[in-house]
Amino acid sequence: MNQISIIPFFVIIPLFTAFLLSLIGRFIKRLFVDVLSETSCFLLLVASMYSLNMLRESAAPALIYKVGSWMPPFGICMVLDGLTSFMLITVNLVAFLVCLYSHNYMEKYTDKPKFYTLFFLMLAGMNGVVVTGDLFNLYIFLEIASIASYALVAFGTEAEELEASFKYAIMGSVASSFIFIGIAFLYGFTSTLNMADMARVLSAKPNQWLIPFVSVLFLMGFGLKAALVPFHAWLPDAHPSAPASISAMLSGVLIKALGVYAMIRIFFNIIGTSQAFLSVLMFLGVLSMLAAVILALSQWDLKRLLAYHSISQIGYVVLGIGLGTPLGILGGLFHLFNHSMFKSLLFLNSGSIDYAVGTRDLKEMSGLREKMPVTAHTNLIASMSIAGIPPFNGFFSKLIIIFACVQAGHLGYALAAVVGSVLTLASFMKVQKYAFSGELKEKNQNVLEVPGMMKLAIVSLALICVLAGLLLLPSFRFFLNDAVNVLLEGRKYAAVVLEGVLK
């Protein structure tokens, strides 16, 4: 029982750090601000590892923390199951490395304590979305993370950044209101807000017209948060405009925690999936995969190119999960993990280039390999991962998704996934060629490699990219399998949670 009380700390630690930093950040030394935020990120990482271990040891499908000891479905509960601990580790691992990276990178911006405050608010929102077991609570955390991210996109307060942030804020708020109305409809029908109880009521009391209507509302809302193609217009502006470490957080984990995770949790575990919904999801996935990668090919701004690739890779994740077969969901979730690693690495590398050379235009940089060997090599690893070259992690997850497509009889989608992968490779060949090989430009003679903390962060991410393929080995497989099982059991989630409450 005592162990379970670790669950709320995923929200408490970042919220408290944000509060503390906004209060005392101005009066203490810069170094102390950095150390404080790195410590709390590290604590979060340790706590998420510990929670995975705790879940394994308890052998229960889900651990439930009752906030204020109120019994669910009346009180709010927090649920830790396989999918939750998978997402917690992904989010907090990226957050910790990004926090290390920000130590040096954010020096060029003036107000570091404010940056960390917003960063931790965003982290609190994401962790909250992942652990909560209450639908309205999910909306609250989603809004906390979104508002913090709107502010972070505008952090540089240059003209372009403000423009991108305004666009993002307006579209994000409209998406949130669709989600809110969907929640209101579900509450009106089931008279409960607890996710497990709602699933129970919905399966006991089926309804003809409500489910499709609410599904469309949620698909629009979460689709916009996840930047699936018809709703993607904000992402290529917003992600490049933020500081590089925030771009890494936004592309790496925010669109997954707020978009993909919340969507699949609601659809698979509460509303219940239908074949029609899965077909829509697969179609949107393939559409994002191909449309975004074609748009990416013509980009010359490095960060904008990476942002388009985020949309494309989210397409792979959604395609894999949309297949609905065990293999498909495994591939989708594994690609979600891998994409957070290599996409944050790529964004951090673009930030390193920006830090050292001062440009994001691919035509302005060339021959940086001599001057920045670490960045060049990590970028090569990340490029090969995202394009799906064999020993790296991206290859395995894409392979599983393609196999799952073939197994489910969707040969066209499998072909589309291969084509998307080839186009991705083409566009990253361009990045490597223009940024790192060729003649060194005259004005770049004095470029220096980035400082130690930034190197540490990018090298760790590159190592994860190389080693993450090992997660498929039988002894590490539980990490993914537990998450997959949560989605496969569908509405049995209700029984699992409501029984877990009584323990």
Handedness of CA 451, 454, 460, 466 (dihedral sign): negative
CB of 490 to other proteins, least distance (A): 27
User: Binding string, 79-118, against other proteins, x = CB under 8 A?
Assistant: ----------------------------------------
Which residues in the 431-460 window bind other proteins by CB under 8 A? Answer: none
Beta carbon nearer to other proteins, 96 or 308: 308
Cα separations in angstroms, 382 against 88, 248, 301, 328: 22, 13, 18, 23
Q: Minimum distance from CB of 184 to other proteins (Å)?
A: 5
- Closer to other proteins at the Cβ: 236 or 285? 236
CA distances from 312 to 39, 246, 284, 416, 417 (A): 34, 19, 11, 12, 10
The stretch among 76-84, 86-94, 186-194, 388-396 that binds other proteins (CB under 8 A) is 186-194
Residues 6+ apart with CB under 8 A from 307: 235, 236, 238, 239, 240, 247, 251
At its nearest, how many Å lie between other proteins and the CB of residue 177?
Answer: 5
Beta bridge partners of 238: none
Min dist CB 187 to other proteins, Å, is 7
Could you tell me the end-to-end alpha-carbon distance of the chain, in angstroms, rounded to an integer?
A: 9
Nearer to other proteins, 196 or 295 (CB): 295
The alpha carbon of residue 349 and the mean position of all alpha carbons in its chain are separated, in whole angstroms, by: 18
237 binds other proteins (CB under 8 A): yes
Number of residues in contact with other proteins under rule CB under 8 A: 34
Q: Does 463 bind other proteins (CB under 8 A)?
A: no
In the bound state with other proteins, the residue whose beta carbon lies nearer, of 126 and 164, is: 164
Q: Which is nearer to other proteins, 83 or 179 (CB)?
A: 179
Q: What CA–CA distance (Å, rounded) separates 385 from 338?
A: 8
Q: What is the DSSP string of 147-200?
A: HHHHHHHTTT--HHHHHHHHHHHHHHHHHHHHHHHHHHHHHHHHS--BHHHHHH
Q: For Cα atoms 270, 273, 277, give the angle at the middle one, nearest 5 degrees.
A: 130
If the CB atoms of residues 240 and 322 are measured against other proteins, the closer one turns out to be 240
Q: Cis bond leading into 73, ω under 30°?
A: yes
Contact 25, 35 (CB under 8 A): no
Return the number of the residue (146 or 397) whose C-beta is nearest other proteins.
146
Contact characters 244-283, other proteins, x per CB under 8 A:
----------------------------------------
3-state secondary structure of 107: helix
Give the residue with the Cβ less far from other proteins, 102 or 241. 241
Q: How far is the CB of 147 from other proteins (least distance, A)?
A: 6
Q: Which stretch binds other proteins (CB under 8 A): 185-193, 335-343, 446-454, 456-464?
A: 185-193
φ, ψ (nearest 5 deg) of residue 46: -60, -45
Residues 293-352 that bind other proteins (CB under 8 A): 298-299, 301, 304
- Binding track over 120-149 against other proteins, x by CB under 8 A: ----------------x---x--x---x--
Phi, psi (5° rounding) for residue 437? -100, 180
DSSP 102-151: HHHHGGGSS-HHHHHHHHHHHHHHHHHHHHB-BHHHHHHHHHHHHHHHHH
Closer by beta carbon to other proteins, 16 or else 136: 136
Tell me the two tokens of residue 468.
């993450």
Q: C-beta of 299: minimal distance to other proteins in Å?
A: 7
Measured from the Cβ of residue 56, the count of other Cβ atoms closer than 10 Å reads 13
Residues 187-226 that bind other proteins (CB under 8 A): 187-188, 193
CB of 144 to other proteins, least distance (A): 8
**In this structure, are residues 381 and 466 in contact, taking their beta carbons and an 8 Å threshold?**
yes
Minimum CB–partner distance for residue 44 and other proteins (Å): 24
Nearer to other proteins, 110 or 275 (CB): 110
Q: What is the Cβ-side half-sphere exposure of residue 271, based on CA atoms within 13 angstroms?
A: 29
The CB-of-487 to other proteins minimum distance in angstroms stands at 28
Q: What is the DSSP letter of 132?
A: B
Of residues 184 and 467, the one with the C-beta less far from other proteins: 184
3-class SS string, 215-245: HHHHHHHHHHHHCCHHHCCCHHHHHHHCCHH
Asked if 133 contacts 194 with a C-beta cutoff of 8 angstroms, the reply is: yes
Q: Within a 10 A sphere around the Cβ of 36, how many other Cβ atoms? A: 18
Give residues 145-184 in contact with other proteins (rule: CB under 8 A): 147, 150-151, 154, 157-160, 162-166, 169-170, 173-174, 177, 180-181, 184
**Does 424 help bind other proteins (rule: CB under 8 A)?**
no
Q: What is the closest distance, in whole angstroms, from the C-beta atom of residue 180 to other proteins in the complex?
A: 5
CB of 162 to other proteins, least distance (A): 5
* C-beta closer to other proteins: residue 55 or 220: 220
Binding interface with other proteins (CB under 8 A) = 136, 140, 143, 147, 150-151, 154, 157-160, 162-166, 169-170, 173-174, 177, 180-181, 184, 187-188, 193, 236-237, 241, 298-299, 301, 304
